[in-house]
Structure 1
């Protein structure tokens, strides 16, 4: 008997959310599921949660670092170009995430395959952990310098980690929007105070706009500046995991304001100019470093400066801890068969951050981030190419269900090749050469071009299946269907038929961790192709 001849159990359809799913979402945030339309956030709630990433000492530091490398003029041109490109790319990714309600992990499954997609949540989680280490260290150093300069820094590392973890247990919609919305005005007021204090104590001057370039580079300074900002394209992946909570009617607002041009103008230009002014005014001869920037802030503004550092790093680390924990959860559930609650992964994230802080973190952190930055640029290039060139999936929704994609899809080879070349250039290239300084652009071109070639050759197809639940309901977004494994009802758009259970219905999260399901799917697909 063929699989198409098997009588399928009727779907148990409801029109309302499953109360158990809603309760679990308070902490789990649909990290392994589609976010249903009824669970989307209000526009300002989501905006306040996301704008936590606006306030980080890193944005002040990177502007100073770039200006000292290429001069103020080219640094600012690079910032402006980055605002434009970041705004455009994130507007595209925002609309896609809102339309489909899926995470980076689920989107990557469509591009890289069931097993190939492991690269995305692992890369994402590792990068978020590293940034949490970097930013948390800044808070610890500031607290130590202000309260007890001779004390053991390890104690302050522990304090920073312990207070950060409870802040992210509630998730985006329950707590992070409220916390970061409350803290945002204090950060803005604090920045204004620091600028005024620095000017009053050391004199207001436009010298920060005229920092000279130390010498000619092999590429134009503005291009090098832009490439340095490409090293933080992890923000594109951050965008997807936050934007999935947006309402469809708010897509334009979020694409322009929350995740787009307005956000990056404030984040890169406002923060960058403040960093340039404060550092050049207080310590004009000091080489760029986040610790040096903290010293400058504390020197001119004392306790108020400490509060600004504390607020800024607390806000940014809510995002780092949140995204690290959700992606660790997604990776472990799919590839290690560990179905632990996100609370456990918050604890694991905190432990990893603290252990990394105890090492000589700066000796390897920047290199690790450089490697990961190359991989992230490749991911963004392939994701954009997929959205632009890949054939559209049925029902207007990206196909991410585990039983509908193969183990490895061609996008995996594109990202591996492009990343390997980018890392090789970074590590083995001649320092200061044009191809080393523009390694992110080369990586982007290789990844996009390689994946486009694969698509043109007909790669990236889906498994042939029968009995699609999306065809069996009237509204794939508005109706809920019960899963025979977890006995919970999820939006029909993520449900599939399980050949290992008489074609009963199964949700995306249960499907991805079921060996019996995945094996039976492959058997069914092979029989249909035969």
Structure 2
């Protein structure tokens, strides 16, 4: 057939026809996809970050910021999940449109590294829990965690894990409920956890109210938006409304952020001597509940880490194949990413989580803002999906790259304010992610209007 991919309305309709070829037969059922996605809610990191925000900005400010976060996350992922399901597009495929074929490699490697970072972080928690329960060295338990985690994303083992996923969520939920009751009974129930205030005046130290600083802190976890696209691309089109409301909407974040934060804040201010860190909370849980606490940590962290391992290896493979033309079996990429994960676990990664959140917040929030702007301005048109090969895309899309570069520079400058003047460190941390997202959306929106030729990222190909 003669298909002219130039970005006009006619051509968008043509690509839409390609997107609509086939049916939902090979896509995941809504129940399986929901359970697979809800497995990510069990990250112990979500317990930690709520406690960290309460310690830094006070419990009331943290709660307000978390509620706002749940609302915004739910709204954004409602849009992204609908688009990903409708177009069956992953982050890598979508990035070809907003950044270009070569430019999308940037998004791939960032996504891969962040997923690997989370695998390192969550794996370190399991290793620390083992060390708390049985003693030994961190390097040994880290190796054990990597060795048993790697096969879980391969073939039959992964299918087996999917079958028991429904059992792991109750372990997580009721395990944390039991921890709250256990801690309350042993150390007493009080309203102390609700009345915590920060050591420094928040508006002075953080460049704004504490709830805004909390919201900005959670913007560092906007990587969940990218996770959403990759998971949602597996869904059936007939289940779009369900996934918008149940799987990827506010309900999920009420559990992942709201419930987890409540547990983290309560345990931090109830158990004497516990540190407001992820390892501190995990160690406190094991010390409090013994073997049962260890089971909760292992079961929940292992499940979330399968997603981290899978997405890290998948995007590392996509980057290697696109940039270096490396064609290797999937198992090789999985092993390679696992080796990288273990090497990073030997470093004190956990100590630098807030710094890492700030830096990744700049890169990821810029991408999310551009993606969201593209979808909304495009009026939901179907433009990118696996049916279009790489050669049909421009190497670089100036619209998206310009917006991403400008926003990233602004974000990095804001983060570096503290090195210029320590009193401005809080200002940069609070406003950096926010200004990054706003500037990315504004620049991309302006370029969308003034440079319509680059809207789809497609080149003119005749006679396809």
TM-score by length of 1: 0.78
Query: Does 2:249 align with 1:263?
Result: no
Q: Partner of 1:480 in structure 2?
A: none
Change (3 A) 1:364 1:199: closer
- Whole-Å Cα distance in 2 between the matches of residues 159 and 126 of structure 1? 22
CA shift at 1:35, angstroms? 9.6
Q: Partner of 1:124 in structure 2?
A: 111
CA shift at 1:369, angstroms? 4.0
Range 338-347 or range 55-64, more displaced: 338-347
CA shift at 1:318, angstroms? 0.8
| Correspondent of 2:436 among 422, 443, 457 | 443
Change (3 A) 1:280 1:35: farther
Q: Partner of 2:90 in structure 1?
A: 103
Between structure 1 and structure 2, the one with the greater Rg is: 1
Structure 2: segments with no counterpart, 5+ residues: 5-20
Query: Does 2:398 align with 1:398?
Result: no
Q: Partner of 2:199 in structure 1?
A: 214
1:417-496 equivalences under 5 Å are 417-429=406-418, 430=421, 431-459=424-452, 460-461=454-455, 462-467=458-463
CA shift at 1:277, angstroms? 1.0
Query: Does 2:326 align with 1:324?
Result: no
Structure 1: segments with no counterpart, 5+ residues: 5-33, 468-496, 498-530
Q: Partner of 1:89 in structure 2?
A: 76
Range 421-430 or range 229-238, more displaced: 421-430
- Whole-Å Cα distance in 1 between the matches of residues 178 and 353 of structure 2? 32
| Correspondent of 2:268 among 276, 279, 283 | 279
Q: Which has the higher contact order (CA 8 A, sep 6+)?
A: 2
1:2-401 equivalences under 5 Å are 37-147=24-134, 149=135, 151-170=136-155, 174-216=159-201, 217=203, 218-283=207-272, 286-362=274-350, 366-390=354-378, 396-398=382-384, 401=389
- Whole-Å Cα distance in 2 between the matches of residues 115 and 51 of structure 1? 33
| CA offsets 1:37-57 (integer angstroms, 9 cap, x no match) | 321111110011111111111
Q: Partner of 1:526 in structure 2?
A: none
CA shift at 1:294, angstroms? 1.6
- Whole-Å Cα distance in 1 between the matches of residues 238 and 119 of structure 2? 33
- Whole-Å Cα distance in 1 between the matches of residues 81 and 44 of structure 2? 25
- Whole-Å Cα distance in 2 between the matches of residues 245 and 424 of structure 1? 38
Change (3 A) 1:392 1:281: closer
The residue matched to 1:39 in structure 2 has which SS? coil
- Whole-Å Cα distance in 2 between the matches of residues 238 and 387 of structure 1? 17
Range 427-436 or range 109-118, more displaced: 427-436
CA shift at 1:138, angstroms? 0.7
| CA offsets 1:148-206 (integer angstroms, 9 cap, x no match) | x2x22111010000110111113998455324223111122211211111111011122
Query: Is the 8 Å Cα contact of residues 222 and 361 (structure 2) preserved in structure 1?
Result: yes
CA shift at 1:391, angstroms? 7.1
- Whole-Å Cα distance in 2 between the matches of residues 433 and 190 of structure 1? 35
- Whole-Å Cα distance in 2 between the matches of residues 375 and 359 of structure 1? 23
CA shift at 1:213, angstroms? 2.6
- Whole-Å Cα distance in 2 between the matches of residues 42 and 172 of structure 1? 20
CA shift at 1:72, angstroms? 0.6
- Whole-Å Cα distance in 1 between the matches of residues 402 and 297 of structure 2? 42
Instruction: Please identify which structure carries the higher helix content.
Output: 2
- Whole-Å Cα distance in 2 between the matches of residues 398 and 36 of structure 1? 17
Range 383-392 or range 239-248, more displaced: 383-392
CA shift at 1:411, angstroms? 0.2
The residue matched to 1:463 in structure 2 has which SS? coil
Q: How many residues align?
A: 433
TM-score by length of 2: 0.88
- Whole-Å Cα distance in 1 between the matches of residues 156 and 210 of structure 2? 41
- Whole-Å Cα distance in 2 between the matches of residues 260 and 392 of structure 1? 18
